[in-house]
Homo-oligomer: A and B are copies of this chain.
């Protein structure tokens, strides 16, 4: 899918050259809004992310990258992005010469996350990469190495970490309101449609429901407990005669055991609709349903009294704008993102263990 042109190789060489420069040489000055290039102009990029720069304090939409000229024209005009700041995948590496772009946000099919992250880093840009970070642990490690070599930051698009209800749930756990976490029950799935979409193509998606939606169950179990699992069970259920599931799994439910003794039961599915979690300890529980959706989160908690709705502390920004600004702020202040490449890598380590546990019919230790 990707061809590396002479120009991009040249750009890669230049990028490698600048890796030796002092950190922040390409970073914006405090006060300036950092410029994002959105790479991949699909539904999520154009309908969900791009409109949310309007609420950003530290981020602005500065460039577009797409394989479809019509999309570059349409969204370029809509968002006032000059032609000089519109790139095809062939011309993308020239972005090294564009000082208006600080960050490349990679929103492509999963298998392209690694090569585009590597190219962005070689072009001296910081990288925001959608989840799943990549298809394999090896890919994640290569992406982390590429950004490290370029002296650039890498963040994964785990937007729920910036969402008010999720922040409240994490806070309740950390504050000890539930006592020690004993169980997380989290279900993520949707009934997938068109069998021809890239999410059902193994080469592009790297897997099925787990890579796309089940990863929310995994990530939530990790951020709610604040721990990394040490043992994994899994069971897969896929109707291979269904034209949607010739290449990738439908259901792959998994169980996690954490060092503290906390446990998680997780659903990952392409044949049912669900989006929720409940985290419980001896003193009570908190649940969000829907939990990791674009909007509409609703929370209930049982803390001493009977179960009751709970409104989280308000957050200054919506989850999307807050996510975009978080990376900008990290760049401006020299901090590391709370969901860096290491967090994406940790999810992929568990994902590989989940697939292995289901395939081999055994508990996989981590």
User: Which residue numbers of A lie inside 8 Å of B, CB to CB?
Assistant: 182-183, 185, 187, 189, 191, 231, 233-235, 237-239, 250-251, 253, 255-257, 261-263, 265-267, 269, 271-274, 278, 280-282, 284-285, 302, 361-363
Interface of A is mostly: strand
Q: Say yes or no: B187 contacts A185, CB within 8 Å.
A: yes
Q: Which of B263, B282, B284 contacts A237 (CB 8 A)?
A: B263
Q: Say yes or no: B263 contacts A235, CB within 8 Å.
A: yes
Q: Say yes or no: B274 contacts A285, CB within 8 Å.
A: yes
CB-CB < 8 A to A362: which residues of B?
361-363
Q: Say yes or no: B233 contacts A265, CB within 8 Å.
A: no
**Known A185-B185, A187-B183, A271-B182; contact A237-B255, beta-carbon cutoff 8 A:** no
What is the CA–CA distance of A239 and B262 in the complex, to the nearest angstrom?
11
Q: Which of B237, B238, B273, B285 contacts A273 (CB 8 A)?
A: B285
Q: Say yes or no: A265 contacts B263, CB within 8 Å.
A: no
> What is the CB-to-nearest-CB distance from A180 to chain B, in angstroms, rounded to a whole number?
9
Q: Say yes or no: B269 contacts A267, CB within 8 Å.
A: no
What is the CA–CA distance of A322 and B269 in the complex, to the nearest angstrom?
37
Q: Say yes or no: B280 contacts A255, CB within 8 Å.
A: no
Q: Which of B183, B251, B285, B302 contacts A183 (CB 8 A)?
A: B251
> What is the CB-to-nearest-CB distance from A325 to chain B, in angstroms, rounded to a whole number?
32
> What is the CB-to-nearest-CB distance from A237 to chain B, in angstroms, rounded to a whole number?
5
CB-CB < 8 A to A238: which residues of B?
261
Q: Say yes or no: A233 contacts B235, CB within 8 Å.
A: yes
A-B contact pairs, 14 of them (CB 8 A): A182-B271, A185-B187, A187-B278, A231-B235, A233-B235, A233-B255, A233-B363, A235-B255, A237-B257, A263-B267, A272-B280, A272-B282, A272-B285, A361-B363
What is the CA–CA distance of A237 and B184 in the complex, to the nearest angstrom?
13
**Known A361-B362, A363-B362; contact A255-B255, beta-carbon cutoff 8 A:** yes
CB-CB < 8 A to A261: which residues of B?
237-239, 251
